[in-house]
């Protein structure tokens, strides 16, 4: 698996629309082909699983490895939009310089790539701490759709839908706001994809505008994802790196990255728009 692929993670729900009182199965998966998981994360890596409904925020404590993913089952006990989100602990990775440069090229991290090429020690490996965030949306019948700030979980890097799910139909679009460290993530690349695409490919990539927003066209039905990332030298953050998963005199990271994704379903499994009854 390529390094870029290892950073491709999603939180996927087995349904996008259900009756109040039904349960949804959520699975955190990592892989090259969306939404197939190649391996399960260690449950100890999770900082939190969150269930957000309007202003009500609940922690999900029961999750475990199931096959190649980490899964939880959650009851949707109220109508309307439910947001589910996970955050993982930062993790250390070290790559040979040519592999790290390849990784930055694959991710089109041009600014980071220029800094890495200009480093004094050309033989030094790339040492990075990476952090993952993932979200998904599920609706329960009987409530009006909502959108905006109440869907914000508070992740350091987060993709937040602006328009309601009833508008996420084939031929229409999803509008999102991207925030990094509580500010509009101006200039980040937001990539979109859906089930059925080849490994590590996207249907489109859009640069986030001056207000931290992007509009993504929805060209077909089925399960979709949006993903974005920040890769930067730790010196730019003004913080010291923490060497999670490292012991003793292991070297510190000089780089840090943050990865965010959100999944949602466009139309129904029968190709018809899903609308509350």
Q: Where are the domains of the chain?
A: 3-155+225-266
pLDDT digits (tens, 9 = 90+) for 108-117: 999 999 999 9
pLDDT score, position 28? 98
The predicted pLDDT at position 6 comes to: 64
pLDDT, residue 239, reads 62
Distance CA 234, CA 254 (A): 5
What are the residue ranges in the chain where pLDDT is below 50? 1, 241-249, 269-277
Output b/e per residue, 60-78; b: 16+ Cβ within 10 A: beebeeeeebbbbebebee
pLDDT given at position 149: 58
Alpha-carbon distance of 72 to 265, in angstroms, equals 19
């Amino acid at each position: 698996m390529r390094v870029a692929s290892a950073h491709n993670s999603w939180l996927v729900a087995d349904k996008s629309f259900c009756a109040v009182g039904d349960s949804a199965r959520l699975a955190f998966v990592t892989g090259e082909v969306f939404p197939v998981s190649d391996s399960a994360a260690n449950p100890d890596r999770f900082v939190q699983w969150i269930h957000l409904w309007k202003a009500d925020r609940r922690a999900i404590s029961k999750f475990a490895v199931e096959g190649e993913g980490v899964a939880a089952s959650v009851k949707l006990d109220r109508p309307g939009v439910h947001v589910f989100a996970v955050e993982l602990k930062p993790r250390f990775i070290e790559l040979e310089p040519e592999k790290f440069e390849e990784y930055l090229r694959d991710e089109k991290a041009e600014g980071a790539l220029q800094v890495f090429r200009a480093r004094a020690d050309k033989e030094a490996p790339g040492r990075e701490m990476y952090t993952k965030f993932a979200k998904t949306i599920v609706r329960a019948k009987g409530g009006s759709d909502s959108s905006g700030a109440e869907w914000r979980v508070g992740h350091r890097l987060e993709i937040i839908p602006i328009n309601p799910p009833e508008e996420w139909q084939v031929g229409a679009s999803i509008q999102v706001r991207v925030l990094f460290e509580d500010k509009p993530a101006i200039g980040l690349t937001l990539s979109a994809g859906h089930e059925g695409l080849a490994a590590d490919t996207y249907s489109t990539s859009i640069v986030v505008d001056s207000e931290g927003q992007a509009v993504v066209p929805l060209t077909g039905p089925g399960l979709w994802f949006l993903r974005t990332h920040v890769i930067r030298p730790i010196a730019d953050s003004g913080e010291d790196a923490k060497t999670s998963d490292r012991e003793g005199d292991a070297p510190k990271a000089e780089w840090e990255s943050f990865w965010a994704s959100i999944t949602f379903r466009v139309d129904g499994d029968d190709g018809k728009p899903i609308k509350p009854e």
